[in-house]
Structure 1
Amino acid sequence: MHLRLAMSKILLLLFAGLFVLTYTVNAQSWEVGATVGASGYIGDFNPNNPLKFTDPVYGLFLKRNFDPYFSLKLGVSHGTISGYDSQSSNQQMQNRNLSFFTNLDETSLIGELNFFSYIPLVGKNIFTPYIFAGIGTVSYTPQTTYNGEDYDLRALMTEGQQKPYKESAIAVPFGVGVKYNITGQWNIILDLGYRYTNTGYLDDVYGAYPNKTVLTTDIARILSDRSGEINGNYIGSAGSQRGNYRNDTYMFLGFTVSYTFLSSKCYSFR
């Protein structure tokens, strides 16, 4: 929680500072927008498919367009991701039989670079592809369902951690998109973005099975190794591989409607 608050303050200060420093630049404009779309992730339940979207996402943003090519966006997004070994085509994952779902609450500061000169209403181009990258923070609370009841997995320390992993992580957004000026100062935007994180625990799975004697509750021991629920054969011996030992990445596919507030200086770029 402290990491998320600190990162949010840093992002807001950066945005405010850039606004003050560039106040006199020509063709500046503000833009606001709302996004809906799909979310997914790459991790222990989806190790290989970068286009596997499983859940919804939505968000809001405030953007400063500094010129026809570069802009900086402060955004908040809420999405969910999930994974179920029982739905995998991989037999090893089916045998593991774990599952998770979690909300993702992201705050990010993202720079966008247009390929073409783009100013809604007054510019000569009505569309442009663009790329983006930035920095952000994301909070997450992995859970799973057992016998009809949902359990928070962080506090259970299912891999025998000495203390629960953090509630927030650093996220590094990057991706591509297309902007289109549909009419007047209104835009539609389609973008695909990935967020590399500094944690492998978005899904509560990272390393090895623990020695179950170090787990302090019965429910922690049950949810640490659920393989035996299939046929009574538990495969989670202490030290054997439970996860892939890699940090998780999540992704958003977004459809956005935005409105650009133009200033008179923008007309010099016609």
Structure 2
Amino acid sequence: MHFIRQLACFIVFFSGMLNVCAQTFELGVMGGGAGYIGDLNQDKLLKISGFSAGAYAKMNIDAYWAIGLHYNYGKIKANDADSENSQFRDRNLNFKTALNELSLQVDFNFLNYFAGGGTKRFTPYIFTGIGGVFYSPKAVYADKEYNLRFYQTEGQSGAYRNYTLTVPYGVGVKLRLKDNWGLFSQIGYRTAHTDYLDDVSSRYPNPAVWKNDSYLADRKKLSDPSHSQYGAPGIQRGDFRKRDTYMFVGIGISYTFVSQKCYTF
């Protein structure tokens, strides 16, 4: 839970800043799609597999810099059976998971832009930050859904954590509409501090590592659902990257509360 404590410290700090200068406060909502790059989708960087929605509270420090607290929700999935790669189809893995992300992000506008002022009505921008995401990969086999964390599909000693640190980064554009209203669109990737967003990371295990209990047959099936005994013990189950990545893309609208008591441009 160390990352939760770190994130809580950021939130407390951010809330204090808002109290000092609440006149620069900005609220926004966003909707769009979510994607995933990992062991079941290794190279399609713009592939959308589900929807996303989010909201934020942001403080504009000046026309160029802003810091905000963001919440994003999305769904991602992948299925080897739909892959163009014949080896993936033979492997026959699948997963889906919801993502609940809370992050602290910093924006940098390239032009002198602010929804309540500034000299430009339009600007490209970049952002980065730090956050945490909750996830829980599931798979469907024979019309039954399984929560993969609890089946030790790669011979783990127990269920892995369903939360991890994440680093968001991306680009976007902002457009001032009227008065304090703004329109924005962005694409942002997140490097997760885990390789188990999809429940796939290392190698196929030796079945001897599993307990001989009522779940043994399910563990074997979920670990290697191929139709040709694809996953011999020790064979690489996923790719060699140690981090999964997910992506949110969409369009949103914002409203900025402006007061001359705080600052002017």
Q: Shared fold (TM-score greater than 0.5)?
A: yes
In the other structure, the counterpart of 1:227 is: 226
Identity value in percent? 41
Distance 1:4 1:151 in 2: 27
Return the letter of the residue paired with 2:105: I
Report if the CA contact (8 A) 1:63-1:74 is conserved: yes
In the other structure, the counterpart of 1:9 is: 8
Distance 1:262 1:17 in 2: 18
Return the letter of the residue paired with 2:224: D
In the other structure, the counterpart of 2:162 is: 167
Return the letter of the residue paired with 1:227: S
Matches within 5 A, 1:153-192: 153-192=148-187
The Cα shift of 1:18 comes to 4.2
Secondary structure in 1 aligned to 2:107?
strand
Distance 2:117 2:262 in 1: 8
Unaligned runs of 5+ in 2: none
Distance 1:18 1:123 in 2: 22
Report if the CA contact (8 A) 1:209-1:224 is conserved: yes
1:241 paired to 2:236 = yes
The Cα shift of 1:268 comes to 3.4
CA deviation string 1:156-185 (max 9, x = no partner): 110001122111011000010000011121
1:258 paired to 2:257 = no
TM-score normalised over the length of structure 2: 0.93
Distance 1:189 1:178 in 2: 6
Report if the CA contact (8 A) 1:102-1:142 is conserved: yes
Report if the CA contact (8 A) 1:158-1:215 is conserved: no
Q: Among 36, 41, 49, which residue is 1:41 paired with?
A: 36
CA RMSD of aligned residues (A): 1.7
1:208 paired to 2:181 = no
Q: Among 30, 40, 60, which residue is 1:65 paired with?
A: 60
Unaligned runs of 5+ in 1: none
The Cα shift of 1:215 comes to 2.6
In the other structure, the counterpart of 1:100 is: 95
Distance 1:164 1:245 in 2: 21
Secondary structure in 2 aligned to 1:234?
coil
TM-score normalised over the length of structure 1: 0.91
Distance 2:137 2:195 in 1: 12
Distance 1:142 1:111 in 2: 29
